[in-house]
A and B are shown apart, each in its own frame.
Chain A
Amino acid sequence: MHSDRKRASAFLPSLQHVRVVLVPTRDIYTVGAAAAVLALIPAVMATDILDGPALPDFTILKRLARDQLIYLLEQLPGKKDLIIEPDLMSPLDRIANVSILKQHDVDKLYKLENKPIYSNNDQLCFLIRPRISHMKYIANLVNTDKRSDRNRKYKIIFSPQKFHTCDMILEQEGIFGDVTCDEWSFYLLPLDDDIISMELPEFYRDYFLEGDQRWIGTVAKALHLLNSIFGPMSKSYGIGRCAKMVYEVWKELLDEDESDRTERRPDLGVAFIIDRDVDYVTPLCSQVVYEGLVDDIFRIKCGSVEFGPEVTSSEKSIKVLLNSQDKVFQEIRNEHFSNVFSFLSQKARNLQSHYDKRREMDINQMKSFVSQELKGLKQEHRLLSLHIGACESIMKKKTKQDFQDLLKTEHSLLEGFDIRESITSIEEHINRQVSPTESLRLLCLLSITENGLITKDYRSLKTQYLQSYGPAHLLTFSNLKRTGLLIEQVPGETLTAVESKMSKLVTDKAAGKLTDAFSSLAKKSHFRGISKKLGLIPRIDGEYDLKTPRDMAYVFSGAYIPLSCKVIEQVLQRKSWMGLEEVTRLLNGNEFSVQLSDNTANSDSQRTILIVFLGGCTFSEIAALRFLGKEKGYKFIFLTTSIMNSTRMLESLAETKT
């Protein structure tokens, strides 16, 4: 009976805002091999989805990656040692384990570091990202072997793809032909039910700082893969120069692929592609939703976090997977931090009363309690104590760093009040040699919200920064200038006219003749104007209610709605960029909206929206959009090149050796 109802509801023309319990009804799919596999996988996430369609099941992506890796390993038959690059270890952990590797004749595992490997194996297999330094390392190793007359087989598996420059190095170093190469097209790692990461943090620096477009094809291929398994998508929106290029490459892949027009019920309907530099303000703000805070403080790596002794209140650290499987975390991850404590204590009380129940039990009841409930309770207890520990540790750290002062400075920068005062407090921050990235973060936020610093301030703050944290940061400042994160105002109002003309030229002429020469100009944000147009600073009478928030601003304590999310909301609502001309002009244009296919029959898929962040997205943005989804009946899926936060962003631009 129950399942019948479910099925019926899926066929109903589901209207927006109508609350229907939707459960994936996989057996509808008959066409398409991917869907057939999906049908075999039990619908795991059927629970607690109230609004919007169900999420597609992305675990298939893991399986594909694993199977391909196994296949590649078997291309080198016999025992072999596997040398893995550090950045690939966590992603690898998420899709395979050591025993799987062992099953396929992997003997020993090494980490690829800059030191020699002592292996007796006659076959070495390298699993790496396509980086020059790795190639040189391997070349060195092979050449050493050659000199000592050692005969070995070498195989390099590049993930997600090989670059031509890698071959060049092999050739230059004289080992071309001595090694065989393969590509492991592992583009997509599902970190959670709704987050897919490409785990390419270098994307940000490579593209936004160096202007290198090597990853654009990779993202396009990833998108295409998603589209061919979970699509065909019907519509795509986007904003940003990189977004546009990704779209163009993807489009080409689509056009080549005429045969792939099998009529299938799509899971994904709409793709929204956005560049990180469209919104630099959001990643520069301190995060205050729980997941964001955990990321800021403990650094979530590939979906898992290591809680140190200060959290576990024991001697050892514990590695925890943070995703929707963790029931406690699932309930607090999107909450403003101020709500988390009370939630956890409530939960703890409930748990206590559950435990207490066993006092009045007779033997039989006790038996069933132990066999059924106890395990779950214990698990919950463990998770609860971990998160409480984490909260305490967060509180401790945040009060130590005069967090309130920081937030105050941040909020006044966002609103544009008391700028002088904010500058003074940033200055003090620098002078006291507090964390270099924190100081830099505030400087960048100041620059972006104010359209650059006036010359006097820029020079004085820069000098003080260099004096405080070391002259090597000269390079950091030059990088920040190139990305447009921290700039000096050019005197005179004429700039805006020139600038808009330039950015228009840039848009019109795709050939990159002028583009990057003016990129630092073109990237200049006009945050105040946009903020006013889109109403990013909510007007509140009295206190903002963080318990039952009204809008996405709750992710920043009610002070600011993330620009990226607001743009997405507006476009989805209007189903185009119409009426947002002023905003897009201030965001340097490059917006697009295209119909990919006329497959719009399935209204569920139309409300399942893939948000592609080029250059990384923050947990605050994810939380904000999850909130929006609940309000408007959308389901958002996040595809990001990596998970970003202010520290990671600024560290990738800093150039000091530690």
Chain B
Amino acid sequence: MSRAKADEDEYWHGSKYKAFTFDDDDDDELSQLKESKRAVNSLKAIVDEEDDDGGKFTWSGEPVGSISWSIQETASNSRMGNETRDFQQKTRTETSFYSIPKPGPTFSNLFKGSLIYNTLTGLFKEILKVTARSVTFRSLHFGGFGDSYCSLERFRSLKEKLQLLDEAVRRHDGNVITAFLFFLEVLFRELECREVALMHFIHFLKETSQQQLLTDLLRFLDRTEELALCKYREHLNINDAEQRRDFLKTKCIRCVIMSHFVPANDRLLESKGQDQMFRKYPRKASLLFMPLVTTLYYSCIYHYTEGEGTFSSPSNLRKTFKIPEKLYILTALGALAKIKAWSDIDALFTTKNWLGYTKKRAPMGFNRVVEILHKNGAPSTVLQDYVRLIEDVETRIALSSKYKCHDVVIDTYKDLKDRQQLMVYRCKVERGSPEEDKIDMILINTVRRSGLHLKERCGKLWTFHLTETDSGDLHI
């Protein structure tokens, strides 16, 4: 112990790196010394604690307590160590950590003598304490690691390595865990039961893109899912389309492959200029690596009329990839609306029942259909047909008035027998338009009819009701 202390004294006082000379402060060196002394002492505690299982010797074989060798190295290996690189590195770290408090020329010029200067130096001391601590912190915890990697080479036996690793894990210092793993070359099978260390290792391999080692590791650990994903990730980084496809072929991820073939064929068509469609709606971007739905959209635009047998027809895609009905219809609708194929859209929703009657049906509610059609600039005559199919009355009214499908609004109010609303709506339509006439007609007719109807049933009450409630409530 005393030898260590002497060494330290010698180091701190003999060092030419006198970073701590404050004009107004003398005991910085002293405090540094204290700092490292405390470090030594606390390391002793750790070493003792770790040596529970009877061993009286530290990992390097030196007696416990006599010299806490690692901290000794931290503090004095610049003189004792054989490796010159050690020394260099040491120097560098020292400057970076300890130089902060030394006021640079600018500071002195700017502030010297002023109150601010004094307080700033004071503040720097605070910072120093924090940073300096990080040095002791490291050396304390990690056996001189913070200053030199080479010292790690002394850890040759597996037991030592693992003890060191476990200590790093216990201290929650991810930075050091990773570094240890790299330098100590701990075996895979030892990592298996050290989850935290393992995760650091995997992350490190990912970051440094050491693909081979990573796949080996995952294979060893039997993590097949992660392994597959890792391979897949690899493919995403391949830029060349051909190579990427080849990679995928071997991996057999079908939906991506599809998106390679369809446009390849089309490029041919396009170059020949045979297909009118391509001239009308030139393709914006390549389909390669696009999602399936985009491919489907694409094929709905350019290949909708093709028979089921062709490779690129939408129905083929639908079958091959088991695309759910809703997804298919939504995509097809968007695509068909884009190219204004209204009759195809009509066919899309028409279903025949076994009696031969046709009926329109949509898996997602016609309000969505209307929205999509409107977004793609469908004319109001087309919109009207679909607005009419919306089941929920309120939505129907809201949407039809939003998209100005007057007929639908009027008919809906008529069905509801909502006289009040009709009158309100009458103000919204154009003067003298056919819609206004229609409303007038309805108003006259319904009043007459409902008036008679009520008189029979309620007698005198009817006048009261007419003034008190909306005509929609007239059925009692």
Contact = CB atoms under 8 A, between A and B. Distances in A.
Interface of A: 33-34, 36-37, 40, 60, 64, 67-68, 70-71, 74-75, 104, 132, 161, 163-165, 167-169, 177, 180-183, 185, 206, 210-217, 221, 224-225, 228-229, 245-246, 248-249, 252-253, 256-257, 259-260, 427-428, 431-433, 460, 464, 466-472, 474-475, 478, 510-517, 655-657
Contacts of B226: 478
Q: Sorted from nearest, which 4 A-B pairs have the closest CB atoms? A: A33-B122, A512-B196, A213-B174, A164-B179
Interface in B268-318: 289-294
Given A75-B99, A475-B232, A657-B236, 19 more contacts: A40-B115, A104-B106, A132-B208, A165-B182, A169-B208, A177-B85, A185-B130, A185-B131, A210-B199, A211-B195, A212-B199, A212-B203, A213-B173, A214-B175, A249-B173, A253-B130, A464-B327, A472-B236, A512-B195
Interface stretch (B74-82, B132-140, B344-352, B403-411): B132-140
Interface in B161-204: 166, 169-179, 182, 193-197, 199-200, 202-204
A158 to B, nearest CB: 9
Contacts of B457: none
Contact of B178 (A70, A71, A164, A467): A164
Contact of B149 (A167, A221, A460): A167
B106 A68 contact: no
A472 B131 CA distance: 43
A164 B129 contact: no
Given A34-B123, A74-B104, A467-B291, A516 B172 contact: no
Contacts of A253: 130, 133, 137
Interface of B: 31, 34, 38, 42, 85, 88, 92, 95-97, 99-100, 104-107, 115-116, 119-127, 129-131, 133-134, 136-137, 145, 149, 166, 169-179, 182, 193-197, 199-200, 202-204, 206-208, 225-226, 229, 232-233, 236, 253, 255-256, 289-294, 321, 323-324, 326-327, 330-331, 334, 364, 368, 372
B348 to A, nearest CB: 15
Given A165-B204, A464-B327, A657-B236, A33 B126 contact: yes
Contact of A70 (B104, B127, B179): B104
Given A33-B123, A253-B137, A475-B232, A516 B196 contact: yes
A245 B174 CA distance: 11
Contact of A515 (B196, B200, B206): B196
Contact of A470 (B120, B170, B291): B291
B133 A257 contact: yes
A512 B194 contact: yes
Contacts of A163: 175, 178-179
Given A213-B196, A257-B133, A428-B364, A165 B178 contact: yes
Contacts of A216: 172-174
B382 to A, nearest CB: 20
In terms of DSSP, what is the predominant structure of the interface of chain A? helix
A309 B265 CA distance: 42
A320 to B, nearest CB: 32
Nearest to B235: A472
Contacts of A248: 172
A180 B92 CA distance: 7
Given A256-B137, A431-B330, A468-B327, A71 B104 contact: yes
B179 A168 contact: yes
Given A163-B178, A181-B96, A516-B195, A40 B106 contact: no
Contact of B323 (A40, A210, A467): A467
A400 to B, nearest CB: 10
Contacts of A466: 255, 291-292
A431 B364 CA distance: 11
Contacts of B123: 33-34, 37, 60, 64, 229
Which of A164, A260, A471 has the largest count of B CB atoms less than 10 A from its CB? A164
Contact of B194 (A64, A214, A513, A655): A513
A655 B236 CA distance: 10
Contacts of B104: 70-71, 74
Given A210-B199, A217-B172, A468-B327, A182 B229 contact: no
A242 to B, nearest CB: 9
Contacts of B149: 164, 167
7 contacts: A183-B131, A217-B174, A225-B127, A256-B38, A428-B368, A433-B291, A516-B199
Given A132-B207, A185-B127, A471 B253 contact: yes
Contacts of B203: 206, 210-212
Contacts of B126: 33-34, 225, 228-229
Contacts of A517: 195
A620 to B, nearest CB: 30
A460 B145 CA distance: 51
Contacts of A655: 233, 236
